[in-house]
Structure 1
Amino acid sequence: MRKKTNSAIRRWMYAMAYTAVSAVVLAGCGNGGNEPAAGDGKLTVTATTGMIADAAAEVGGEHAEVTGLMGSGVDPHLYKASQGDIKKLDNADIIFYNGLHLEGKMAEMFEKMEDKKPTVAVARDLPESALRTDPSGAHDPHIWFDVENWISATEVIRDTFIEKDPANEGDYRAQADAYIAELKKLDDYAAEQIASIPEASRVLVTAHDAFGYFGDAYGIKVMGLQGISTASEYGSKDVSALRDFLVQNQIKAVFVESSVPKKSIEAVIEGASKMGHEVAIGGELFSDALGKAGTSEGTYIGMVKHNVDTIVSALK
């Protein structure tokens, strides 16, 4: 009985500590004016995903110190903020997040912080017509897989920097323009490479439905075992349906994702094999997180190029 009681007390103490820290964040999120942070003069920026942190670093340049909360291989759908994350959010002059419920329950925290400091969803300016929805009507948050959408996100980041630090508007605009020029080249590259795959082979099968925007933008059919969020469960019917599709259409390759366990897609491969159809793993794609810092895949542009090249190599 004592062990259970002590455990309950510890849980209560942790809950009280988390509540207290959250209260400090909401009450003390300062730097609400149009002034850069004190000290070295750089704006302190906290971003949720690696994709957003990368874009913010490109646009902010020497005027911003950018920290991303979610590293390589992290699934944002299931992510829970730690006390260290809350401190980073508290210390930030600007917070960038994706929106469209990518960050799950963290969205509630961001909404409460909006009155205290610039807390900005980079998807905010995308029109309804540009957003994909699932059968339940929920918006697909994986906007970065259409590079044109990511240009819109970059513009939101640029405008936020200018509003917070108007003295350096010229630099923010120049840095955003240079980055957007590279994004436009990336958009053309993705379109040209995917078009080189024979039309009948343009089928991308992955663990969860993260690549819908990619499929719409570049003309490739996309199928995922899970829905747009990995928080949704998949069952035997989902495995069987995807297995049957692979067999009936003689699909030769499927892809695993860096932020999703392989066991889900391996179950589909095993099922197809039992029906006499061998399916290979075409490679690992980066879906909800970038690659490791310091690698090409650790940047947004490098990640997209890696995905495109991996898909083309396997399907062409």
Structure 2
Amino acid sequence: MEVLGAVASGVTLAALFKYSFEAFDIIQLYQSQDVDFKRLQLQYKLEKGRLYNWGVEMGLADDSKPNLLNEWHSKELVAETLRQIIALFSDAQVIRKKYGCDDAISSAAPSLPGPETLHGITRAFDHFRIQSSNSDESMSRLKKTKWVIRDRKKFLILVSDIQSLVDSLEKITNDLSTIARLEECLRRRVNEIKNGDILLGIASVWKESHPRVASAASTKADSISMSSGKYEFISQWQNSVDSEASRDSLIADVEDLSITELKHSVVSSHEKLETLEKSLNSTSDSMTSLQRKMKILRDRKEAQKYAGIFMFVISASALLQFFQRT
């Protein structure tokens, strides 16, 4: 079990958090009818859940979220606290004598399957890739050893020690959590602002104190500026380029543009193509309608023509009959 000392050194905060969370699994819980004992096992699982929730909020359990501890001045305190959690499980003698556990292999106690939610939490770490092969090997050896609870009163000491360390993690990073939630709320409100000047003002004021909010405001302002026509000079450049210009002059004009200007130029061209396509579709619809109307007129004209011939034949026949009688 001393291998945990190697695991706890020379790894990232995310890796330390992963190892401390997985260390909980070396204790196998088992079926019991004792209400107090069941409550104790529940408290153990709750502390594991609290540690996971803390890791999610700090960005350690999900690498798609920003790590709030990367640039934090007290991150070494967090690392040391995580090492202490790992150390609780690092000594077989301590686990056996201080925390009242027995080797699971020699114990006949039926293990208690963990709830599906905790299985899901454990699977959430599958995407982690820790670079230290020695640490992986050490953790692999650690997982081969399992313990079951023998003495409830002694095991309560382990739960209390874990609770104290998790409390410390939450307290020391409380300000970070509060600021992160505040910034997330501000980012959502920033996305609702439609005035580009206000957004640029927010980006300028909060550039140092809240860089993530400032970045969101600046990005939104750029988006509004593009859509409101503040890049009209790009369209003017497009119109100024003669369609018969030489290849060399066209390349020179393109090279004069920045990447951002080229992007807006492409967007503008795409919008013009869409407008032209809509215009052509509208013209096509008009032509179809006109053809239908002309067909109706032709049909009417033909009908009138044949009606006139029919009336002429009837009239001629009537006159012929009249003259024959007279």
Q: Normalising TM by the smaller chain, what interval?
A: under 0.3
More helix by share: 2
Could you state the TM-score of these two structures normalised by the residue count of structure 2? 0.20
- Greater gyration radius: 2
Could you state the TM-score of these two structures normalised by the residue count of structure 1? 0.21
